[in-house]
Amino acid sequence: MDSKSNGTKSPLTAKSKSKKRPYVKPQVRKIPLSCAKAQLEAKAVPGDPGAEEMLRPITRSLSGDEKLK
């Protein structure tokens, strides 16, 4: 016997009709690279490979800017 024949609603159907919260898009701020580097270094766990990977291009970019001056 399926749920349509006995008049009951499946849990999936009942859940899909519940009110959904509206989507709130993430807030994005642009900050200077030097600030981004400082914040990442302050919040990163020492030896974190993910943080090191994010810092690598920031450091390269900052050192490239200094060479142009």
More confident position, 28 or 4: 28
Distances from the Cα of 55 to the Cαs of 35, 41, 43, 49, in angstroms? Answer: 12, 8, 12, 10
CA gyration radius, the chain: 25
pLDDT confidence of residue 52: 94
pLDDT 10s digits, 32-69: 999 999 999 999 998 999 999 999 999 999 998 766 65
Threshold 0.85, pTM exceeds: no
Q: In this model, does residue 9 exceed pLDDT 60?
A: no
The average pLDDT across 1-23 equals: 64
Residue 13 parent element (H or E)? helix 11-16
Residue spans per domain, the chain: 30-69
